[in-house]
Each structure stands twice: as structure tokens, then as C-alpha cells.
Copies of this chain bind each other. A is one copy, B any other.
Amino acid sequence: MIIVLEPNATREQVDRIVQSLEEKGVQIHYSKGVDKTILGLIGGKETLSQLPVERFDGVEKVVPVSEPYKLAGRSFHPEPTRIRVGDVSIGGPDPVVIAGPCSVESEEQILETARSVKDAGGALLRGGAFKPRSSPYSFQGLGEEGLKLLAKAREMTGLPVISEVMDPENLDRVAEYVDILQMGARNMQNFHLLKKVGRMNKPVLLKRGLSATIEEWLMSAEYILSEGNPNVILCERGIRTFETHTRNTLDLNAVPAVKHLSHLPIIVDPSHGTGKWRYVEAMSKAALAAGADGLMVEVHPRPEEAVSDGPQSLTLSNFSAMMEELAAFRPRKQESCKG
């Protein structure tokens, strides 16, 4: 950490800063430049993360030098993490495709979808049972009934299933049914829930928050990792920007960035990322080309009747056509980031 002093900081102010920090075990390098004087702080990282040195008199600003995450960082764990779920490996050489409806709506809907996902080459089945909805008047999901239907679809197809957990009180119940626990974008900084899933023995798919920086996202992964659960899959799903033509702005830059900064696998959700089914195929190809470890795509037998997220859902035949395109396009994942 570096402290930049105010141009008119007094001797007394500087002495007070130095003394206070040295008392806490921090070593200080003093460096007088032409315009600015800076203090380089060495050691005491734990201490410093909790000290508002910015608030000392005479301080103009404070510049962090180290990343705030450890377990999520590449220097801690240089090899890419691979996560096994049944027969599926996420983070390995082959990208995986997770597909299914936004919400589980009925037995017929989820079984029909599961069969198609399986046939088209999808590796996992998604389906929401507890739904975060911005309106209290919107469909809130089938709840445990939805989880049971997912389990039935798994039994029928062999596809592992993933569903969102929104609520610590329900966590054990959701975990009983699913193979991967999904943390939604709106819960990316629900720290209480992060800690709880960090104590589970199940992989966690952590969606990026709507306005979360990549660093904050890795810090939320750190919450899970630091509780002992090493199996975190990151999922880019679009950030909030000024652009309104797309529902969100799918930020594919996050793919090479996460590959550079972290060892965790990253998959991409082009359905939420664009909000328009029309753009899902193009952005799926782009995500894989950028080096993503997989995709999560919304698919519905009859999107125009879906209770949620219809506009961004592919039909079963859209999905199957896209999977063929993807296969032709990119037989296996390539290394995209050598730097």
C-alpha cells in the first residue's frame, strides 16, 4: 500500500502517520518526488486492510498495490482448477454446455426440455425452483416441487442438475436435490449466504453481480473458498451499463481477465447477458472463442408461454441447431491466454 501525501502536509502530520503505522508493525519507505511525497508501506497487510489510513491528516490518497484476494488468485494456485460433477469436468479441455428453462414450470416442460438438451449434447440441466423476481407479483417458482421435477429429469436423462439457492434457511433442502448450487447475480454479495455455501460439500456456480467489478467478484469467490469449499465456478452474465438495446452488457473481457487473474473456471450466460434469444448464438460462439470453459443457456419448449425470461430463451430446435454450429465451429477449447 502506498500513501500519497498532500503537497502541504506538515512534518507533524507525517510523523504522526509514521509513528501510528510503525506501532502496528508496518515498515515505511519514504520517497520524496518532485510534485508529491509518497510513503510505501511494507508488511502488516492484515492490519492495513482494516486501517483507514486515508483519514490521517496530511494524506491525499491511498493506493493499494496487492490484490485483496488470495485463494482465488493465480499466484496461490497456478494450475487451472477443474471441477468434476458426475462425469462432467468443468475447467478441462472441453467446454461444457448447461441448458434448460429459466423456471421449472411443469413435469412435461422440464422432461421434454431435458431430453432435448441431452440429445443436442448439453452436459447439465438448469432450471429455477426458487426464483428471484424484481416484482412480488411475478411467479416466484415452484419451490421444492420444482427441485423434485429436476431430480426426476436427472434420473431420466443422467444429466446433473443445477438450481439457484436464494435463502440460507432453504440451503440444505436445495443441496439435497442439486449437483451444483447456483448463487444468483443479486446475491453475489450476500455474504451470509456465501459463507454458508462455502461450508457445503457441493460445487457452487457464482454469477457476477450486475455492477460487480471483476475484483469484487473474485472476492466473493474468496468468501466461499475461505470457508473450505474449493469448487467455485464463475459465471459471467452481463453487467449493467447505459446501453438499453440489450438487457445487460455481456462482458466477455471478463473471460481472459479471469483466466489471467485466477485459476477458477469461468462460464458465460449469453441469455441473461443479452436478454435477446436472437443474439444468443453469436455470443455463445464468441464466449467459447474467448476461452470460456462453458456456457449456460436458457432453453424452453415454448418460450412464448414461459413464465419468466421467455424473450431470451431458445426453442428446443434453436438450441439443437446452435449446438451443431458450435461443434463445427470449435471442436475443442483452445488456450486463449498465453500472456
CB distance from A77 to the nearest CB of B (A): 13
Q: Mark A287-306, 1 if CB is under 8 A from B, else 0.
A: 11111000000000001111
CB proximity to B under 8 Å, residues A233-258: 239-246, 249-253, 255-257
CB distance from A306 to the nearest CB of B (A): 5
Which residues of chain B are near A287, meaning CB under 8 Å? 286
Further pairs besides A50-B308, A55-B303, A241-B251: 9, Cβ < 8 Å:
A2-B38, A20-B304, A34-B45, A54-B310, A136-B227, A190-B190, A214-B245, A241-B242, A278-B339
Say yes or no for A86: interface residue by CB 8 A criterion.
no
State which of B40, B278, B309 has its C-beta within 8 Å of the C-beta of A337: B278
Q: Could you tell me the distance between the alpha carbons of A111 and B300 in the complex, rounded to whole angstroms?
A: 55
Q: Are B255 and A282 in contact (CB under 8 A)?
A: yes
Q: Are B33 and A31 in contact (CB under 8 A)?
A: no
Q: Could you tell me the distance between the alpha carbons of A191 and B313 in the complex, rounded to whole angstroms?
A: 24
State which of B4, B220, B242 has its C-beta within 8 Å of the C-beta of A211: B242
A132, A139, A251, A255: residue with the most chain B Cβ atoms closer than 10 Å: A251
Pairs across A and B, CB under 8 Å, 25 listed: A34-B42, A35-B45, A38-B40, A49-B137, A51-B305, A52-B304, A52-B309, A53-B304, A54-B311, A68-B134, A135-B222, A136-B195, A166-B191, A168-B168, A186-B189, A211-B240, A214-B245, A241-B251, A243-B251, A244-B244, A246-B257, A252-B252, A256-B278, A282-B291, A329-B334
CB proximity to B under 8 Å, residues A243-286: 243-246, 249-253, 255-257, 259-260, 273-274, 277-279, 281-283, 285-286
Q: Mark A17-30, 1 if CB is under 8 A from B, else 0.
A: 00010000000010
Say yes or no for A138: interface residue by CB 8 A criterion.
yes
Contacts A169-B169, A189-B186, A216-B134; is A329 near B289 (CB within 8 Å)?
Answer: yes
State which of B51, B54, B283 has its C-beta within 8 Å of the C-beta of A253: B283
Q: Are B249 and A136 in contact (CB under 8 A)?
A: no
Which residues of chain B are near A166, meaning CB under 8 Å? 190-192
Q: Are B243 and A239 in contact (CB under 8 A)?
A: yes
Q: Are A253 and B240 in contact (CB under 8 A)?
A: no
Say yes or no for A7: interface residue by CB 8 A criterion.
yes
Which residue of chain B lies nearest to A187 when distances are taken between CB atoms in the complex?
B190
Q: Point out residues on A near B: beta carbons under 8 Å.
A: 2, 4, 7, 20, 29, 31-36, 38, 40-43, 45-46, 49-57, 63, 65-66, 68-69, 75, 132-139, 166-169, 186-187, 189-192, 195, 210-211, 213-216, 219-220, 222-223, 226-227, 239-246, 249-253, 255-257, 259-260, 273-274, 277-279, 281-283, 285-291, 303-311, 313, 325, 329-330, 334, 336-339
Contacts A34-B45, A49-B135, A339-B277; is A55 near B306 (CB within 8 Å)?
Answer: yes
Which residue of chain B lies nearest to A167 when distances are taken between CB atoms in the complex?
B192
Q: Could you tell me the distance between the alpha carbons of A303 and B54 in the complex, rounded to whole angstroms?
A: 9
Which residues of chain B are near A7, meaning CB under 8 Å? 75
